[in-house]
Amino acid sequence: MVHYGHSNQLRQAKSMGDYLIVGVHTDAEISKHKGPPVFTQEERYKMVRAIKWVDEIVEGAPYVTTLETLDKYNCDSCVHGDDITLTVDGKDTYAEVKSAGRYRECKRTQGVSTTDLVGRMLLMTKAHHSNMVSSHYQLHTDNFGKGATVHSPWTGVSQFLQTSQKIIQFASGKEPQPGDTIIYVAGAFDLFHIGHVDFLEMVYKQAERAYVIVGLHFDQEVNRYKGKNYPIMNIHERTLSVLACRYVSEVVIGAPYTVGKDLLDHFKVDLVCHGKTEVFPDKDGVDPYAEPRRRGIFRTIDSGNSLTTDDIVQRIIANRLQYEARNQKKEAKEMAVFEAMKRREHQQQQEAQQDEAVAH
């Protein structure tokens, strides 16, 4: 998948240098080393290009980053998160670049991983955005690494903690300038995917100088019109996902469902856009876009991509068994490395104590 945890990693990577090239693996490579991909390679290439800190991408990048790869693209160093990545045979993927001193590390975003998101979709339990202590969620956490008795510190379910600092790091900080066309769009933008990216790109292209504001509905609101156990990502996660997109200038966190006079006047909105998806009426049965329509500033956008969050969830459910196996296998592999690291640490401590004893 491509999620806000990746965006945060790319943001950190970009701050370590001047030009960021991102290598994206093919579906075949991922299937071989990790398990079935959720988004196809074409979707992933396009999504990574849409992340605002990315300068260039390498399609079909090798799973193991070698010095040869770095030199080929004229890179000084490579950056990876502080979780470990292993090849099929359990070797550290970054061993070569580490020994050459061309490896940098960035912090992993606590509370999110592809494994966690897949787990949420497999369960579709409401607990992930309302009551975190509910028994469903406990069950979710306990069952998630089914088969693994110990939990790997890198895999599993944790809760994302939003901070104002994180929002500042992701925000553009740009105000609309004279001559900008202020475009407003609203929605859930749940499990931010290629359908959203294609839509926002089309919205951005509606004007010479577009300033795109995305209104995000609170979790309860999304659940009212989407039903089931939506949203899969809570409002904090959806905020970062949308802010990371290069076509977006600003996000309204918890936007009113009805796009009314106050909102339009406050942001001096020139154009309101909505995709081809169904517009659900507000609680009182009113068309949420009545005011923009009355002003003649409402526009329906056809992005040419009909992918929805529902479709992504269906992909997961269709491959349910494969994904459950993927999560268990990944956790077991990581546990083996983690245990080996603990043993090595323990051994080093013992050796140090023995040396000390000898010295005395």
Q: Structure pTM? A: 0.82
Percent of the chain with pLDDT over 90: 64
Find out whether 247 and 204 touch, Cβ atoms under 8 Å. yes
Cα 180 from Cα 211, distance rounded (Å): 6
Average pLDDT over residues 160-168: 93
Predicted local confidence at residue 126, as pLDDT:
41
Predicted local confidence at residue 320, as pLDDT:
79
Q: Name residue 275's beta-bridge partners.
A: none
Strands 250-253 and 271-274: unpaired
Show the domains of the chain with their CATH numbers: 4-109 (3.40.50.620), 164-300 (3.40.50.620)
pLDDT at residue 322 tops 80: no
Find out whether 245 and 52 touch, Cβ atoms under 8 Å. yes
Find out whether 239 and 213 touch, Cβ atoms under 8 Å. no
Strand runs (DSSP E) across the chain, as ranges? 21-24, 56-59, 78-81, 103-106, 181-187, 210-216, 250-253, 271-274, 298-300
Q: Which of 47, 81, 77, 57 is nearest to 65 (CA)?
A: 77
- CB count, 10 Å around CB of 285? 6
Q: How confident is the model at residue 173 (pLDDT cuts 50, 70, 90)?
A: very high
Separation in Å, CA 84 to CA 145, 167, 235? 18, 26, 29
Q: Which residue has the higher pLDDT, 224 or 91?
A: 224
- Write the single-letter amino acid at 27: D
Predicted local confidence at residue 152, as pLDDT:
40
pLDDT tens digits, residue range 189-225?
999 999 999 999 999 999 999 999 999 999 999 999 9
pLDDT tens digits, residue range 283-307?
999 999 999 999 999 999 999 999 9
- Write the single-letter amino acid at 105: E
Average pLDDT over residues 108-121: 85
Predicted local confidence at residue 354, as pLDDT:
85
CA 88 to chain centre: 24
Cα 16 from Cα 274, distance rounded (Å): 37
Predicted local confidence at residue 124, as pLDDT:
67
Predicted local confidence at residue 358, as pLDDT:
82
- CB count, 10 Å around CB of 258? 18
CA 140 to chain centre: 20
Q: Name residue 299's beta-bridge partners.
A: 273
pLDDT tens digits, residue range 238-293?
999 999 999 999 999 999 999 999 999 999 999 999 999 999 999 999 999 999 99
Find out whether 63 and 133 touch, Cβ atoms under 8 Å. no
pLDDT tens digits, residue range 115-128?
888 888 887 644 44
Predicted local confidence at residue 160, as pLDDT:
86
DSSP 186: E
Cα 240 from Cα 288, distance rounded (Å): 25
